[in-house]
Amino acid sequence: MQRSLPPSKAIPDCRVVIKNEPASDCKQAVDIFITDPPYGDAVKYEEILEFFIAWLRKNPPAEFANWTWDSRRELAVKGEDHDFRLGMVAAYKRMAECMPDNGIQVLMFTHQDGDIWADMANIVWASGLRVTAAWYLVTETDSALREGSYVKGTILLVLRKRLGAKRTNQTDLAYELEDEVADQIKRLTGMNDTVAADSKRAKDGNLFEDADLQMAGYAAALKVLTQYSVIDGKDMTQEALRPRVPGQKTLVESLIEFATDTANKMLVPLGLDESVWHDLAPAERFYLKMLEQESHGLNKLDNYQNFAKAFSVRSFGALMASENANKAALKSAKDFGRSDMSPSSELYQTPTRAVLYALMDLQAQKDLDVVLKGLEQNLKVGAFYSSRNLLVAIARYIAKKVDLLRPAEASAARVLADGIENQRM
């Protein structure tokens, strides 16, 4: 499907060409490419296009009267393996070759998986391109049909040719990644704060959900990473083309993982101090973050799955009371009971698990002094006295988040927080 539109009135020398042919077959010079690629078989654009073809071909608008209506299904780049990545590289590399040195590509990309963003970094590197800007565009509106934590928009990556051979090392790169990811997320959370301060728009909630902030962090990471041709003496173009070996983590995956962790550290739940958040283990972050989600009625299982992966939780099922697709839920203090207290548990000797155990005991009408003694024993030796402020913060946070869900547990959490503070005095 191909059509040349007349020169723009606003930009007389600009001609727009819409093509439905392999990008790897591009032969003409083009200043700007705009692409919205799928990731493997996640979005079957060739099938989606056929819906519109069936709808429009019998009575097309005058502007499209001379179009050839064919989805060219056989040309789709499919799969999710090494061959798929090579197909993507062939397409973007050829587009880069057809661009002048000051040409640009705008690539639209949406995914919540850090591994997928690592793949995109590899594709950009191997194509001789770099990310020079990343813009988050809100494309979805709130609807009763789309309740829950979902991505509200897409990332627009601006790509340019990577000219020259810029070098760096992982140590310096870590600082750059941390600063860029933090800056991007702070910018979006700042917009959320602006909306919250606007009484007329506050009812609409945040502009950006946590899933959006994660994606923005990944995009910021690509902006930093892809400007370099050589990292720690390794040619990143060759590194990006290397097939994956099962069980081995590539340099790119390690760097994206670092960026992911940086982004997740910024997703501090409302009501929890940032210093407390940074002191928590991955499983604790997952539990307390999802507790916040549940307080807003967000109980879709895929939401738990995404955050479990984001926070590097090995087995989130051990923390779940229900894994129903639309009614998933964390274990309460009573649900945990005496489980997950062994060294094999991801919550072993953590302040969050110790607090939950204490809340179970308080709801069983045990004396507060006995509960506090047990709390001390459930932590690492000598950790109680240095962790008092942390324990109080966790208890008060749980009290707020479960106040409507589990009033008895919320009451016990307030009693526990007061008890720890009074004992200190």
Where does residue 355 rank: exposed (0-12), middle (13-18), buried (19+ CB within 10 A)? buried
The pLDDT value given to residue 50: 86
pLDDT at 230 over 60: yes
Q: How far apart are CA 60 and CA 286, in angstroms?
A: 51
Query: How confident is the model over 339-351, as pLDDT tens digits?
Result: 999 999 999 999 9
Which helix (DSSP H) or strand (DSSP E) does residue 154 occupy?
strand 153-161
The pLDDT value given to residue 161: 95
As given in the structure block, the two tokens for residue 52 are: 């519109």
Q: What percent of the chain has pLDDT over 90?
A: 39
The residue whose two tokens read 């009693």 is: 415
Confidence of residue 19 (pLDDT cuts 50, 70, 90): low
Torsion angle in degrees (nearest 10) through CA of 266, 271, 277, 279: 160
Helix count and strand count (H, E) for the chain: 16, 11
pLDDT at 51 over 50: yes
The pLDDT value given to residue 11: 43
Three-state SS at 260: helix
The pLDDT value given to residue 306: 79
The pLDDT value given to residue 311: 85
Q: Which residue has the higher pLDDT, 221 or 404?
A: 404
The DSSP output letter for 83 is: H
Is residue 211 within 8 A of residue 298, CB to CB? The reply is no
Q: What percent of the chain has pLDDT over 70?
A: 83
pLDDT at 61 over 90: no
pLDDT at 424 over 60: no
The pLDDT value given to residue 362: 97
Is residue 110 within 8 A of residue 164, CB to CB? The reply is no
Describe the crossing of helices 114-126 and 251-265 by its angle, rounded to 10 degrees: 130
Contacts of 342 (CB under 8 A, 6+ apart): 348
The pLDDT value given to residue 114: 67
pLDDT at 336 over 60: yes
Q: Which of 14-23, 45-54, 164-173, 265-274 has the lowest mean pLDDT?
A: 14-23
The pLDDT value given to residue 261: 74
The pLDDT value given to residue 205: 53
pLDDT at 239 over 80: yes
pLDDT at 105 over 80: yes
The residue whose two tokens read 């203090």 is: 333
Q: How far apart are CA 72 and CA 380, in angstroms?
A: 62
The residue whose two tokens read 């959370």 is: 189
**Helix, strand, coil percentages in the chain from 3-state DSSP, rounded to 5:** 50, 10, 40
Three-state SS at 321: strand
Radius of gyration of the chain (CA): 26
Average pLDDT on 178-203 reads 66
The neighbour count for residue 137, using CB atoms within 10 Å, is: 11
Query: How confident is the model over 118-172, as pLDDT tens digits?
Result: 788 889 999 999 999 888 777 665 544 444 445 557 888 999 999 888 999 988 9
Query: How confident is the model over 255-275, as pLDDT tens digits?
Result: 777 777 777 777 788 889 988
Confidence of residue 201 (pLDDT cuts 50, 70, 90): very low
Is residue 271 within 8 A of residue 291, CB to CB? The reply is no
Average pLDDT on 76-102 reads 85
pLDDT at 16 over 60: no
pLDDT at 2 over 70: no
Average pLDDT on 75-87 reads 77
Q: How far apart are CA 267 and CA 283, in angstroms?
A: 14
Is residue 31 within 8 A of residue 100, CB to CB? The reply is yes
